[in-house]
Structure formats: C-alpha cells, structure tokens
Amino acid sequence: MRTICADEARTWLRNNGVSLAAKIEEIIGSFDFSKAVYLQQFEPGQVLYQFIRRSSAQDSSPMAGNWFCLKGARASGLAIIDGLSGRGLHAFRVARAFTALEGTAKKQPVQWSWSGGGQGGATQVYVPVTLVRACMIPQGAHEAW
C-alpha cells in the first residue's frame, strides 16, 4: 500500500484506462483527500463488496460498477443511497492480483440522478472496468452485516 496525492491518482487513473478528464475528476472528487488515499494491492482470494441497485442485480453475475467496499461498510458511509428500487450487497472474489485506489468516501450532497449522496467516511475502493473484468469474479448476493 502506498499513499498518493490527487495528482498521482489522476495519473494512475489515466494509466489504467480512465481517459475522460470529467470522469477522472468525478472519481477524484469522491475521495476525501484530507485523509490518506492509497494504491492498494488486492490478492487472489480476497473479497470486496458492492451495493448494487436491485433492479440491476437480476443477472446472476452482475457487473454494475467500479466502486467497491470492505466488509462492514454501510451505504451511507459510502455516500450512496438506495434510490427507489433499493440496493443489495454483492460479493466479488479477487481472482488475479491487481492494484486499485482505496480511501475514505467524501461526504456528498444527495443526487437522485445517480442515487448518491450521504455522510461518507467509510473505506471505498475504485477499480477500473478493465481490472474488474479481468481480475474479479462475482459471487452473487451477500447478506448485509
């Protein structure tokens, strides 16, 4: 694990397939850089979790996004809200080692357009789509803690 600044995170995102400047800034703006942000190594066998909209989770192997959390996180701590259909927790097993951005979710105003907003404060992990597809295996629905 290596602590990085926002400019290093931008470079890392560009080097890992996130090419649109607006998307990079959206990702950067989701982390609280007043706290440590890391390039974190994930190893085979580790499990990450994702709160997936129930309306998107009907697929037996949902791949709904790039944002993950650690065991015990709550949606509000990740600055996301359930929206109208609610969200279910899904587990993803790391199949191949990879590096991702890990840090504290920044407090966000409620934005119903993407079912986001909340207090933040929990650990979140951003995994670029190429790494999600190449390195993670969906394990399906998981009971909330």
Tens of pLDDT, residue by residue over 50-109, are 988 766 545 544 555 899 999 998 888 888 876 556 778 899 999 999 999 999 999 988
Burial status of residue 145 (CB atoms within 10 A of its CB: 0-12, 13-18, 19 or more)? exposed
Q: Which domain holds residue 114?
A: 2-141
Angstrom distance (rounded) from CA 96 to CA 107? 31
Domains of the chain: total: 1
| Positive/negative CA dihedral, 111, 124, 55, 84 | negative
Residue 49 contacts residue 89 (beta carbons within 8 Å): yes
For residue 10, pLDDT over 90 is answered with: yes
What are the tokens at 125? 């992990």
Q: Which residue has the higher pLDDT, 73 or 46?
A: 46
pLDDT, average across residues 126-141: 91
